[in-house]
A and B are shown apart, each in its own frame.
Chain A
């Protein structure tokens, strides 16, 4: 056990609240957990030694500038600084309830306790750490049949040398719909675990964004996890920059039939950055659909890890599942470890998966050049276009307009080597 983990466990022993029964179960698992090494399959390409002996201040209260609003976005902003909620929750639209974890009513506690760790796999070490230490966070509840117009934007900021653990539990009732943005940024030395669990009831609809934009020494391990009931609709876009340690786990569980999940993910890495995306799609029942498109550009000495697993259970007949991971390497020193996995136990399914390390399309390059665009500029336009294609698909174009210049800026600083 690492020093850091040892401290986490002893801190967890002090935590006592209404989630204690759930936390105790995770703590038991955590005590048995092995610190990940190169031999741990799920962490094979993602060393966590930067964390092993690191020390951070817990529950600090950093002085950070106010979170930047997104121009033109109609939003409800939930800003967490070092894991502490800064925003006042007043005047919410009808049918929407948002409460800090600590303030949950007894009724809310009942379903939230059930939802806690229901979508997230229990074996994940940092997920367990989050289970036992995340006293900060919110519960978001969308009532039956309600469509929430404003986007719920959860902004996570962590100050220098701080550590924060945050948990978001979202319940979207039957026929309800909502958009949730999980927004992470920062570059100073820090560590956070941010886990969100979404429970979608029958015919519920979720538009989801996770912007994992930590860079530099901002260490981050987190996940977004979804349980989809009958005919639930999920449209999720993930965007990742890399840092010394940046790991994201995404799990989608088709627990009801005729659910639809669209997952688009983009990563854009430079310098010595590392970004690791693990996704697991569980098709437990028949007639589910998953479309997953993951695209990345890795430059300089950066490293991307993608592990995409689709598991089709024996009963999940008529599943449609597609998984595609495409990468552009901008430098000889950059590295991509990609592993799409299909595990199929049903016989009447349509599945496809693929992973490519792509080069720029020659025909497209010639086309741009034939109009007078220089080869160098055409390469830049096409490389950026490669990820921009997924930005174009974001249902919320205000967010796309906000994101695009950030990606463009980051991309402009990359060098082709």
Chain B
């Protein structure tokens, strides 16, 4: 893949390539800074507009919005004590106290540099780790692929918010939705109930936007209406001088490492990484006792880790076709919409495309520095925009976006229904990521299961004899499912003592 880097840079250095990188990162920073939008909604909103683009610019635009929004979340966290994205919640703890002391510019400076370093290191990890993992996964037949998808789904479910059972149930609903329409092997129609609109199945994008964006608007409407927040005094970002980094490099290094490691695990996400890194920073930093009072190490720990997750989460997504979280599930959906089959063969079949995406991701993280410096001043007044205007605009833009995919008004009705269903399920604590991931991975899961059953003469248990990789993946899947139950049982035992 490294040999494809010159061609990849040729794609990046076109006017379209550069525009996509700069505008996507800028848009991501602004959307990420708006409380209530978040990375997943931001990426889902932009997704439909990528359909008129080529494969590489489309994915790069989404990556730019993703990385930009993760950084953008820190602007709201520091200036109004409201994280723009859940990943930035830990940044509030020290960012806002610093801003209250009149050091908002410096707090954003720490956040900017930590985010850029975290993102750049994760881009390097992505460039080197993803092809190795993909090369290993090329040995996989249908049985190994089936158990790999099973492992990915169990990991995602076992760490998703809410209960394990609800996560699994959401995954089943997503897999079921993927079965509506033509059977992938014999072509017979299933669950269409003579409605020709369902012959091609549910539009993935309409469901994704419904369950993430529209349901978010409804969730906001069900909570107390928020008023525009008070903004602290802010005159622009001040980058920390080199001497100020003394004694903080260790925290930075550890946080980047934690972010990358957690990012690679399917289902964990940037918010988890930020809080684990923050806790580790408080434990090991020489300034640990000052955490929570406006300590720069707290900002570094949170921001370096949450941005380092972005590249890490892309490793299983690009190398194995297993999304790390809801955002990477949306990315996989984009690949599918652009006619690319996610999975281990993706890297081998599309080396230039993958190299362009990886190189683009590196450039996006570099762009965070200049764009962050400029746009944090622009984004600050946007934080005063009332929730009503943002939520209404989200629905209008989602309707436009969903209609564009196929020009079919039926997709809008699907989006509406998915939004209402997503709202009802989210209120009961159902995580939405397993639903979307189930819908993305469902067709591959079905095909590989049925192919595997042909290979083993219909014996499911024979999947694990003579297939050591499948056996290992199956055992890890069982452990991933049992572990949270064991933990829950042990904590109940401890409480009863």
- Our verdict on whether A and B bind, yes or no, reads no
